[in-house]
Amino acid sequence: MRNFFKKVKKSIKDFLWDVRKRIKIRQRKIGAYLDERNLNLATKFPGWAKALLYLSPALIVLAIFTFWPIFNAFRLVLYEGYNMTDNTITGYTIFGNFIKVINDESFIFPAQHTQGTAIVNTLIIVFISVPISIFLALFISVALNSIKPLKGFFQTIYFLPYVTNTIAIGLVIAYMFKSDGGLINELLGLGEFSWIERGSTHPRAMFVLIFYSIWGSLAFKIMVFLTSIQGIDKQYYQAASIDATPRRRIFSKITVPLISPMIFYILVTSVIGAFKIYNHIVALFGVTGKPDGVDFTMQSIVMYIYKYIDGGGNNLSIAAAGSLILFSIILILTLVQMQASKKRVHY
């Protein structure tokens, strides 16, 4: 029986090699035929044309789903009174829609009757959750790389949030912080302390949102950091152990500098991701971004934009203005990070 399977395997292998050989011979004949008649376009294309040809599938997708929406936003923001249903406008403007967004009491400066705005909420999330999540992910990655028993088990546990639905995790977090019977209140003995429901305050709700944002973003960061740490040449650590270098100094002088490109990558992508936060807010506070019976809102800039997109009618120009403001903020912060990283990142 074993000899029979060996013969079958050899026959299949010989057949595949024969097919490959015939295809190669046919390709050479076709190429020679085209070269003789000066019809082989592949040899005439310059390098940049070949690159465009190979990249064309990706460029087409980017053009449809990235470049065109950006161009369309610049187009819509110039319209005044744009009606989506019949594609008509009442006039043109340059800064009118931007002024409407900036003067909106729910975008930058909160009104007297409410707390929190789209800009303020987003900036708090960005400048608190991003540094904490990066430090935690780096610490956990170093710890996971150091342990030997159950290493794969712990890696799986920390990777689970990355493959779990965001809304599902948000519903679990919301249940944990419920005022009546929530796990957090039961563990801390807080009774019916309100975190994200009626009777809550803006700092409490923001704490839960930041907690959820950090937990949801740890998995990808840990995966990237752990892969980078495992790729460091072990000779550096062996030389440090011979010199009896403290672990803290090994971490700051060997680990961090050698994975600094990945830290910079995670920093940039985390800032962009935090500015685009939306699903986390919906999972905790609903599509309005505001718990019932409170005098504050938890909406982010993206939620503010979606609010006007859902409104339709004459609101798309305002949504376009808000999206371009968000685009400008992210672009400026990214350029600042790239400039600041030139002396800190070692390639």
pLDDT tens string 300-316 = 999 988 888 876 566 78
What pairs with residue 91 in β-bridges?
Answer: 80
Of 132, 303, 103, nearest to 210 by C-alpha is: 132
Is the model's pLDDT at 343 over the cut of 70? yes
Please give the pLDDT value at position 113.
Answer: 61
- Model confidence pLDDT, tens digit, residues 209-244: 999 999 888 888 988 898 888 888 888 888 888 888
Over residues 249-308, the pLDDT tens digits come to 888 888 888 888 899 999 999 999 999 998 888 888 888 888 877 888 888 999 988 888
Residue type present at position 325: I
* Ranges of H-type helices in 231-311: 234-242, 247-250, 256-258, 260-275, 279-285, 301-311
Token code pair at residue 103: 């003067």
Measured distance CA(119)–CA(246) in Å, rounded: 43
The pLDDT value given to residue 234: 86
- In this predicted model, what pLDDT tens digit does every residue of 96-127 receive, in sequence order? 888 888 888 888 877 666 677 889 899 999 99
What's the pLDDT band for 69 if we cut at 50, 70, 90? confident
